[in-house]
Every structure is written in structure tokens, then in C-alpha cells.
Structure 1
């Protein structure tokens, strides 16, 4: 049963994630084969099938490094700032950089106890989908202007895309401050959501396989945010959430109890 309201774009994401996760398990050999959902368009369906294969290839091609992620996480201070030279030097001495690691094929990088540190998935988002999504980045603000980024050696467009329908003003207590729609989405949210739809769906779908607990937590959080917006009559946020295709927002970071606290001196442990 699909827990997402039928009029939410997130419904497509959930269908795609269900298909990819089952297809992944099928290829690995722990589930029978599955039929693709007819609700997905051909381009997205092919991309999802490719994603499932790439995830499987990576999962079956592990590389282990001599690093203890749990011990490293424990060594970080609460509300780590990252600007204490003495502590940073101590971390560097206790956890020296691993030697250069060249990855050419889909791979999962594991720490010495088998925890997945990195999924390397080249070729997951094809050029067709990339070219469509680039149109969403044409309106540049000062903080995303290409002059702030290094020139790519691989013909990539410098910049970043970081839209979220529920960006919380960190370091400020509720209820005076509450989740807000990103300013960019307030101006042209519908166009942006349409332009980035397929790559965002693929990213959220990959999250379903990589970190299922966070995926479901993200869905719960987003549905709760939608209910909160409806109860408080924030129609703009409700409309934005209906068009938002990703299960992953900044709220998901706050809900991810399994990850080390991100380095933000204004943030409290969730």
C-alpha cells in the first residue's frame, strides 16, 4: 500500500524506489524477479533499471580501507565546529588519511569492520537526464554562482542545486521560527521541481537501497510536515510539498540519528 497522498509527486518517487529496491534484491538473489510499474514513464523506468544494476554492481564489488568510522564518530565533539586547530590536528594524527584509492567501476567502500562508507556509482544519471535538469540551475544567486566553484576538468557545469521545501532556520527556537520554503522555490518552484524531477527521483530511490531507515524516516517527516502545513494553513508550503519529488530534505539530516552530528555550532543533537 502506497502511504503517499495520490496528488503528491512523491508518489512517483515511492513507486520508483519500491521497484529499484525489489529489483536490487532480485539481482542480488534474495527475492524473485519483479515487473516494472506501468505508472513510470519510459525514460524514468530505464533510468531506474540502470540504477538497480549499478547499485548491485557496486554492492558486489566491495573495497575495504583501514579506517574505523565508529571510532572516528565517537572522537568528534558534540556540536563540532571544525575550526579548532588543536582538535583537528589530533583527529588527523589519530585517523591519518587513507592512501589514494582509484575507483573505476561501481563500488562500495567499507571501513575495516564492514560498514559502508561510500557508494561509488558512475553513470547512474545519464546525459539526457542531466541536460534536462540543468535548466533548473540557470537562475543563479550569489551563493550558487559558478565563479564560486572550481572549473571542472570533466566538462561539468560548476555550481550546486540545493532546493528544499522545509528549510529550518537553525539556532532559533520554535514557534517564532518555523520551517520555510526556500526562496528560490517561492519564486519558481513548479518549474524547478519539473526540471529536476528525474535526477531527484533517482537520488531518493538510491537512498531507499543505501539507507532504508533514513528513507522511511524521511517519508514520515515529510508527511508530517505536510500535515503541519495544512493544520497551520500554510498553503504555499502545502503546494510545494505536493510538487516535491524527493524524500530527502534538510529535515532528513536532522532525523538521521545513525550519522555523526554534522559540523554546525548552532545545531543541537536531535
Structure 2
């Protein structure tokens, strides 16, 4: 993530609280806003599941910016019993490595590796299989090309994991029920104005917020919009191209963020698709089921 400074008078922003799609004048889809996408019972199930990750979440919180601004303790609600920010990915290039070097290969992130005692994270992935299938299905509607290429990338990763005898990746793939190859879990965390750095600028990241907390807005200064960010809301947008922020809230809140990485698609030789366009959606709807 890239921390940025934004100075804006939010009193002039449009306030959005009903389902919406933001499109530019050329028909490019910039953002999907889906409030109340999940029932209260399902939201509670998702929130309760995060208790299984309490240890890695707590360990992620650092003082004095030791782990970068994303893990800075100042960004977490002090009184919260559960807080932290962790990444989970089945394919991640270590710093300084990439697909341009044939000897470099992506790896499963540490929290998912067997040697790190990954039982809790594996159990969490397995318990959230239904959620990840729903969010993947939503992406199939919101950005059909990205969904297809993401699915192809996972299929290629499966074949390569077998060929390279990557036991960690082979163990995670059967319970990785998301078309996205990476996700971040942020619990009781406020988000200063920033852009994300891991995704491709024209791709859609998917964000889900759950919990019990005071009224909150998801703010996108460049669009002059703030979206009511009630529990159960899904937002899909390019976090790498649009500055966004979420203030702190009283109560308990978690954000689950899903994204794909450009270098992983390059590694498995999958095309880097363009951004979503309103005509893509119209074509899919007109075509109907295959």
C-alpha cells in the first residue's frame, strides 16, 4: 500500500447509500458498490471466524512503524480485543524476485506454510469456502475477463506446483476457493488515504466489511464520493488507481480485501486483461448461460 496525502472538503462529496456502479464518460467501470450484500447471520459467521486467526493478527501489530505504516499500532483501535492486518497468498514473489528470471518462482506466504504451523489459517480458508465462492461469482459478473484469467492462472499454478513438487502450494490449492490469488485481512484498522501497490491498475479488487460498529463511510476523494460502509457491504474497485480511505469507528470491524498480482499472471503466461467496460457486462447479460 502507498500512503498519500489528500486534502479535500468532504462536505461537498456525494453520499451514496444504495447499490451503484460508477462509470466514466468512456464507459469504463471504476467502482461497484453493493450494500447489504450479506445477511446479518452470515456477517456474524464471517466475523466469528476471524477469532481463529487471533494469534497471527496480534503478532502483526507493530509499534513505532516497525512493520511499515500498514502494521503501525496507531492505525488500530487501542481497546479492541481482536486487531491486526495479515496477508494470505498462494503465490507471492519474494522482494527482488519476479517472472523475468526463470529461476524465480512464487511461493505460498509464510502463514500458509506447513512449517509455520498453518493449521489455523488452513482451517479458516476451509470455513470460508462458501464466502469465497460467492465473491468469485460476483467478480464473474463485474469483470468477466478478469474472472476467467484469474481462474486460468490458478489452474496453471496447480500444474506448476505439481511439476516443481511444491508441497506447500499443493496443500493450499484444494482449500483456496477464491479466484483471487491473494487476500488481506484487516481487523479494527483505520485506513488513511492511500493507493494499493499489489494489484494492476485496471483490475478490480474486492472489499468486504463486516462487524458491529458506528456509521462509517468509504471515501474516494478523486470521485468526490463517499459510500455508506455498513457491515455486509461489498465494494469492487481498482485500489491501485483510486485513492481511498476509511476512518476509525467505534465497535468491531473487519475488512477482507481480495486481489490478483500482475507478476503471477506473467509467470503463468496468462494475458493481462484490460479494465471492465459497461459493454462487457451488456455482452455477458445478452449472451446468457453457456
TM-score of the pair, normalised by structure 1: 0.52
Contact 1:197 / 1:245 at 8 angstroms: preserved in 2? yes
Given candidates 8, 30, 45, the residue that maps to 1:117 is 30
Instruction: Give the ranges of 4+ consecutive aligned residues of structure 1 lying more than 4 Å apart after TM superposition.
Output: 143-146, 253-263, 267-270
Alpha-carbon shift at residue 262 of structure 1 (Å): 4.7
Give the helix-richer structure, 1 or 2: 1
Give the total of aligned pairs: 177
Q: Deviations over 1:78-114 (max 9, x none)?
A: xxx979x9xx99xx9xxxx995121111111222333
CA distance in 2, matches of 1:116, 1:202: 21
CA distance in 2, matches of 1:104, 1:164: 32
CA distance in 2, matches of 1:241, 1:163: 12
Q: Are 1:178 and 2:105 counterparts?
A: yes
Report the aligned-residue RMSD: 4.2
Contact 2:60 / 2:85 at 8 angstroms: preserved in 1? no
Alpha-carbon shift at residue 134 of structure 1 (Å): 2.0
List gaps (5 residues or longer) in structure 1. 1-80
CA distance in 2, matches of 1:232, 1:148: 42
Please state whether the residue corresponding to 1:108 is helix, strand or coil.
Answer: strand
> Mapping of 1:4-19 within 5 angstroms?
none
Alpha-carbon shift at residue 128 of structure 1 (Å): 3.2
Once the two structures are overlaid, the 10-residue window that deviates more, 238-247 or 97-106, is: 97-106
Please state whether the residue corresponding to 1:102 is helix, strand or coil.
Answer: strand
Hey, what does 1:195 align to over in structure 2? Answer: 127
Please state whether the residue corresponding to 2:31 is helix, strand or coil.
Answer: strand
Given candidates 48, 52, 60, the residue that maps to 1:142 is 60
Give the strand-richer structure, 1 or 2: 2
List gaps (5 residues or longer) in structure 2. 62-69, 184-196, 204-237, 242-261, 267-271, 273-290
The structure with the largest alpha-carbon Rg is: 1
Given candidates 92, 100, 116, the residue that maps to 1:167 is 92
